[in-house]
Amino acid sequence: MSLPVVSSQTADEAYEDPLDLIEEIDRLKIEKDATILAHFYVDGDIQDIADFTGDSLKLARDAVNVTTSTILFSGVHFMAESAKILNPEKKVLIPDLLAGCSLAESCPADKLAEFQQRLRGEGRDVVTVAYINTSAAVKSLCDWIVTSGNAREIIDRVPADREILFVPDQHLGRYLEEVSGRKMILWPGACMVHEIFSLQDMLRAKRNTPGSMVIAHPECPHNILEHADFIGGTEKLRRHVMSFEEPQTFLVATDAAMIHAFEKSAPQHTFVPVPGIMTDSGETCACNRCPHMARNTLAKVRDCLKNGEPEIHWQPYFDKAQDVLQRSLLD
């Protein structure tokens, strides 16, 4: 598999001084009555100008407390969709409409509906639990939505005599099976970023840095998770590193942009990204970055505020997705 080129400034963007862009964004935020939400996986300079930063769960909850008429969501499409669904009366903007998610795309709504129909045909009355990294169309077909932060709690709420279909992340699903003791039907999806960590290089880095600890996101495959010293969603990882007062070295098996948030929260530590596997072209990805998150740049944030687009518009299936999102994340 060859990796896409990732950069904070895309090739077709002319160079602009980041300080000028930040000044313009601050001015536009007031002029357009906008609040900026930024995921931990976008570039650090965008996180620094955001009003709220966090993981999917925290940002979904922050979105409902926004008081301005406009939300600019710097992240990927399904996150901006969730912000719109939870705030139908607000204008929700996303800096780049093409910022998708390989994991969400691995579970198309029509395929899920077909599979659910087949299970019903077999007389199996399953409860469908979806990771938040899914399109709104998929959410509208599900009973519960979870994030890596609340998945265990929601799984525990499903009555023990009901079968669970977990979509779309097979690795997170397998991890949840282990921690909850519940067997589930797992959709075979995966995230392109978390799938690519090199176990061999991670073990070598650990050996070469005595005392270091591996912290990993549960979207990583089992072979990485079984060597991790701590597993958690991004917010849980951030709190974990903050709990150590003495300087430590952490080997980070999640999107390397997360290191910006770690360094801000726990500057006493050293954070080293776990290297990725060798690509088809023979290169090693030393710094795993989500190419979709990397579509967010300061220039696009500025343009999006200025032009009032791209905007997330209400779709008919948002009504059903709204019920399940509110019940799962806000109640």
Least separation in angstroms between residue 132's CB and ligand SF4 is: 10
- Report the residue from 70, 106, 128, 133 that binds ligand SF4 according to the rule CB under 6 A: 133
d(CA 183, CA 95): 39
Query: Alpha-carbon distance 122 to 56, whole Å?
Result: 35
3-class secondary-structure state, position 155: helix
Q: Side-chain half-sphere of 159: how many Cα atoms within 13 Å? A: 5
Q: What is the per-residue binding string for ligand SF4 in 195-234, x denoting contact by CB under 6 A? A: ----------------------------------------
DSSP state of 258: H
Q: Does 101 bind ligand SF4 (CB under 6 A)?
A: yes
By DSSP bridging, strand 144-146 and strand 164-167 are unpaired
**CB-neighbour burial class of residue 104 (10 A; exposed 0-12, middle 13-18, buried 19+):** buried
Cβ-based nearer residue to ligand SF4, 21 or 254: 254
Residues numbered 15 to 54 that lie near ligand SF4 (CB under 6 A) are 41
Site for ligand SF4 contains 83 (CB under 6 A)? no
Closer residue to ligand SF4, CB minimum distance, 126 or 329: 329
Size, binding site for ligand SF4 by CB under 6 A = 13
Q: Which amino acid is at 288?
A: N
Figure out which of the listed residues 47, 102, 135, 147 binds ligand SF4, where binding follows CB under 6 A.
102
Q: Which two tokens stand for residue 85?
A: 């669904």
Q: Choose, by CB under 6 A, the member of 84, 238, 260, 292 that binds ligand SF4.
A: 292
**Any residues with CB less than 8 A from the CB of 273 and at least 6 apart, and which?**
251, 252, 256, 259, 286, 287, 288
| Shortest distance, position 137 Cβ to ligand SF4, whole Å | 16
Task: Supply the minimum distance, in Å, between the C-beta of residue 100 and ligand SF4.
Answer: 8
Instruction: Name the residues that contact ligand SF4, by CB under 6 A.
Output: 41, 76, 101-103, 133, 191-193, 255, 290, 292-293
